[in-house]
Structure 1
Amino acid sequence: MTEKKMQSGQSTEGMLDYNDNSSAQLQLVRLLSPLVRDLVHSMSPPDTEFKIMDYGCGPGVNSIEMVKPAIEACLEKFAKTPIVVCHSDQVGNDWNTLFQLAAGPEGYAQMSKNIRTEAAVGSFYDQVTSPASASIGTCIFASHWLSQGIQLTSAGTVWFADLQSDARQIVDRIAQRDWTQFLLQRSREINAGGHLVVGTLGSVPDASEVNGIAASGRGIYRSIQVVAKSMVDDALISPKSLDSFLFSLWFMTEAEARRPFEENTELRDAFEVIQTTVQPAPTKAEDIFQEHIDDPHTYAQKYVGYIRAFADSTLRTHLFGPNCRTAELLDQLMAEFYNRLTQLYESETNKHACEVWHLVVVLRRK
């Protein structure tokens, strides 16, 4: 089996209403905030400025909240040191919203006149800032997206955790290569004594699952498969388009997160590994919208909003787009998909609940 690159490697470009539908992401940000403060307090004074790198910033709300504790700790310990916040993401990111939030009443620009905001446009699998320039880097709910879109035969599933045989091995190799490359780039950008904090979705061992792991969000990805298959059955989209569609992501286990440090000498020499863990989310680990379970309509709306936020652009471009000759037809297909998804969650509710295991990796640059 051969792998094929899709026409775009920007899996997260065009995220829809992300800031309004990212409560699960914000939970992890709040969990990591005390850790980020402590790490900054443990550092020595920088030579010139204190640079915070925000890798994979997205439209902003969670990134803003993640850099705030680093800024607060820096203002407390290095009161007169200039602070630079550099947000990094793809060219198609909603940069206007990000900078409006940063400068707004809930942003960080008001915390001090000694803060400068920058953007680094490009993939974080490449170099995005000057060598040894960053004091601390954070990457929240972003490192699970692969460097490229993937098109291969994946009949019966739209995501990595249910892939079989050669297809799984192909995506596994890409995921491990990407994670290693991400870490190597950060090893060159973070200065000695600096830190990298990565928080995202993870997977845990589970003998009952087809590949021996239970991955975060398995319910929602399987719900997407169910609804898309129903549209194939009703001849709204072609079987080929579904069988070749795959979300380009991978949620690592603890062992997978540690592997580059065991196999790559450059990384082992560059970083002290402080933490690599996968743990259930501290609240709502079994269902991110469990508080709405007794109201099926609201429950369904929450899930559909969450799925639209991260998946709409991918679904439009790589699943439904190839079935459409006009933008109007594409909009109709997307509306039908979300209507069916809503009906699924209203009728079956938590059968397709989103479980969450947090992967947290904390490194210190030697």
Structure 2
Amino acid sequence: MAENDTAGRSTEGMVDYNANSLVQKQHAMGNHERIADLAGRVSHLPAPLNFTDFGCGPGQSTIETARPALTTWQAVDVAKPISICFADQPGNDWDALMALINSETGLLGGDPPPRIETAVGSFYDRMLDDNSVSLATCFFASHWLSVSRPYDAPDTVWFADLTGEARREMWRAAEADWTRFLQMRAQEIRSGGYLFVSTLGAVPEAGEINDTAASGRGVYRALQIVTKSMVDEGLLDRKRAESFVFGLWFMTEAEARRPFETNPDLQDAYEIDIIAVLPVDGGGDLFAGHLDDPAEYARQYAGYTRAFAASSLRKQLFEPTLGAGKDTKWLEDEFFRQFEELYREKTTAYALEQWHLSVVLKRN
């Protein structure tokens, strides 16, 4: 999960991103066929052909996202110039990404090789020139909001369990961000081009809080348990903890469709190919293969969760608790020690569940 936070450091502090981003890599590879199909649909567009991955992150998953488009285009017309653009925030680990691109399993094979470009900034703003993109993707990134802010949230650290005005406030922010993301891409994607957004989603479920089941509910509820435990132990500031909410929103299908129903400019800009939320085969528990070893199962969950959650926890919870200039490493280590212990004791009680939101749009 590439993270979008107010400091603009999408992967700062992540612990071995590639080693702990199995879900992202599996998702990218699972969408090879669809990306290749979309690349084929736009291969007739005038040169140059450009593929851009928004919220790329530093890891192998973005290489796997770009690969099927590149392979398709090189097979269609080797004479047509091709560029691959990786777009993310300034704090992305660009050195790690470039090392992967230039590796033996990277993207510089073929004759001629593609032109590699980067775009640095927020995808809630313009990142590329008008009408310059043939095919755009955004995987596991658009659920992060443009700004993380405090809410009245004494009993939860994530959006899906918010209630009342706090939930309404956060949804307004999420809806505004989603609308702006679509507006920015409409300026950058050329007529006949495609935008493919795939991220974590949510589905209606009677009996759940807000009658909605959201991806990762077990993981985020485990994060809340550890947060409360450390507050009770006096390790975290209670007031700060009771206003901390991860700055993300996993949309239902209805929520993803709303901007197209309320915004005439978006209705004119795009033709909807797909907007759907679907379950993941097997439910999404990435580490079920380790259930015979609870310690390893717990270790895998702690590494995976720390990779995407630590930055938000550090900036919004740990650092404010200790004050400026204090070392937060011990606090972070203790948090994930307790998190790992919880999974070792409870195993599948907090297993990852996933529903994926897929949005495919053709630019008119």
Q: TM-score range by the shorter chain?
A: over 0.9
Instruction: Give 2:298's aligned residue.
Output: 300
Contact 1:195 1:363 survives alignment (8 Å) = yes
Alpha-carbon distance, 1:10 to partner:
3.3
Check conservation: 2:319, 2:326, Cα contact below 8 A.
Answer: no
Give the superposition deviation at 1:339: 0.9
Alpha-carbon distance, 1:191 to partner: 0.5
Shift of 1:27: 2.0
- Confirm or deny that 1:359 pairs with 2:334: no
Secondary structure at the aligned position of 1:42 is classed as helix
1:105-144 equivalent positions in 2, closer than 5 A: 105-144=104-143
Residues of 2 paired with 1:197 and 1:340: CA distance? 38
Displacement of 1:330: 1.1
Query: Conserved in 2, the CA contact under 8 Å of 1:39 and 1:195?
Result: yes
Q: Aligned partners of 1:80 and 1:231: how far apart in 2?
A: 60
Matches within 5 A, 1:318-329: 318-325=316-323, 329=327
56-65 or 317-326, larger mean C-alpha shift: 317-326
Aligned positions, number: 359
Name 2:69's counterpart in structure 1.
Answer: 70
User: Which whole-Å deviations, capped at 9, do the CAs of 1:152-205 have from their partners, x for residues lacking one?
Assistant: 221110000000101000110010111011011111111011111111100000
Alignment match, 1:29: 28
Residue in 2 that maps onto 1:317: 315
The alpha carbon displacement at 1:286 in A equals 4.5
Pick one of 332, 335, 342 that aligns with 1:334: 332
> Is the 1:196–1:362 contact (alpha carbons within 8 Å) kept by the matching residues of 2?
yes
Structure 1 equivalent of residue 218 of structure 2:
219
SS in 1 for 2:357: strand
What's the counterpart of residue 160 of structure 2? Answer: 161
Unpaired runs of at least 5, structure 2: none
Q: Tell me how far 1:11 sits from its aligned partner.
A: 6.8
CA deviation after TM superposition for structure 1 residue 17, in Å: 1.8
- Output aligned runs, 1:105-254, within 5 Å: 105-254=104-253
The 10-residue stretch of structure 1 (50-59 or 285-294) with the greater mean CA deviation from structure 2: 285-294
Q: Work out the CA distance in 2 between the residues paired with 1:150 and 1:325.
A: 18
Paired residue type of 2:338: R
| Paired residue type of 2:249 | W
Q: Deviations over 1:324-354 (max 9, x none)?
A: 1476641111111111111100001111111
The residue identity in structure 1 corresponding to 2:173 is: I
Structure 1 distance, partners of 2:325, 2:333, is 12
Q: Report SS of the residue matched to 2:85.
A: strand
Q: Answer whether contact 1:276 1:359 (CA < 8 A) is retained.
A: yes
TM-score normalised by L of structure 1: 0.95
Alignment TM-score, normalising by the size of structure 2: 0.95
Tell me by how many angstroms 1:112 deviates.
Answer: 3.7
RMSD, aligned α-carbons: 1.4
C-alpha distance in structure 2 between counterparts of 1:254 and 1:182, whole Å:
17
